[in-house]
Structure 1
């Protein structure tokens, strides 16, 4: 149950559009949707639901600062002008830029790549009408992290179920719940709608976090 609160800790610059609230226990929850990423230096819970999408949870273990992303495709399809490098407003919809921006924002607080702890989640086979996009996402994020010289310390990926993930950047703790068949249909419906408009939505009005 969400509780309306006016005493939330201030978010880092650029993340003001992320939905945040206090739950009944008083914890600050930051709710991530597809295309989002969020970094915090306070005691917050980063919360998301993943079907075929993937989230990377990355933290600076020396400073307890970390964040999470949520992406559905590694990069835009096709060879047109809609590439992550040329359309900044759309960038974090795709894994290529979402991963880079998450890593860079955590590193901006100080420390080195050796201080980073990485965990990955999601990539379930839930969209039966498509090639296994979930597995494609998992392969992409593993290869991306390998190329960046970052080791995955924990993961819960693949299979055929969606996941509810809660990440605690201050400590690195993660809670993962595999969702049931009724909940799966809701996740699939939302992902199909998101996917259908992913490369069609206008750039105007979007937030460029950097």
Structure 2
């Protein structure tokens, strides 16, 4: 998916009554870069969201990826491509690579039956390795465990709120992820939008 514009009519835009701000909801394979006073919000199970920001220009962005990477992947559902898309959009909008900072969330092992090589753990390891290789400082993280999370990121300041969701919500997110992973096996990589 292309970067979603931070405008009132952007897909997923709504007014968040709890936060008392305009917000954009990200789904898997989305990424958003903004310099507007709003919140970027996503729900994560085994997926990971990377929040990158440059305080000097009050610009930041968030992605939401499902799988760590594929050397041939050109889809933002893969972490390697999602990270490149997010960084490139930040740089195009005036951020400097040397000033980028990161906060990362998710990678919970919420899917039963994936004990040998859980996708949440692989996603979490991928994002930490990627940031280290790119020399982007990691300012905060909440990765792993078995809980899904709701993440709210304020791109102008880099402020982030994370809420671990109760186990009753885990089943809903795990079921949605299982269905999405099942479709990934049947669908080609190409395509602009993937929703679950």
Shorter-chain TM-score category? 0.7 to 0.9
- Output the CA distance in 2 between the equivalents of 1:162 and 1:111: 30
What are the within-5 Å matches in structure 2 for residues 43-192 of structure 1? 43-76=37-70, 83-84=72-73, 88=74, 91-130=75-114, 131-192=117-178
Identify the range of structure 1 (145-154 vs 196-205) with the bigger mean alpha-carbon deviation. 196-205
Uncovered stretches (5+) of structure 2, i.e. residues with no partner = none
CA distance in 1, matches of 2:135, 2:192: 31
C-alpha RMSD of the superposition:
2.2
Report the TM-score when normalising by structure 2.
0.87
Q: Distance in 2 between matches of 1:145 and 1:204?
A: 26
Q: Which of 30, 48, 57 is the equivalent residue of 1:36?
A: 30
- 2:15 equivalent among 19, 22, 36: 22
- Give the secondary-structure state (helix, strand or coil) at the position aligned to 1:92: coil
TM-score normalized with structure 1 length: 0.81
The whole-number CA distance in structure 2 between the counterparts of 1:140 and 1:182 is 28
In structure 1, runs of 5+ residues without a counterpart are 1-9
2-structure distance, mates of 1:196, 1:17 = 29
* Number of aligned residues: 186
Tell which structure's C-alpha radius of gyration is larger.
1
Deviation of residue 18 (structure 1)?
A: 3.4
Q: Specify the alignment match of 1:7 in structure 2.
A: none
Q: CA deviation at 1:24?
A: 3.1
C-alpha distance in 1, partners of 2:56/2:44?
28
Deviation at 1:54, TM superposition (A): 0.5
How much does 1:203 deviate?
Answer: 6.1
C-alpha distance in 1 between matches for 2:190 and 2:76? 15
Residue 200 of structure 1 and its aligned partner are, at CA, apart by: 2.9
Distance 1:64 1:17 in 2: 20
Counterpart in the other structure of 1:4: none
* Superposed CA offset, 1:53-100 (max 9, x none): 100000111111111001110124xx9xxx31xxx4xx1011010001
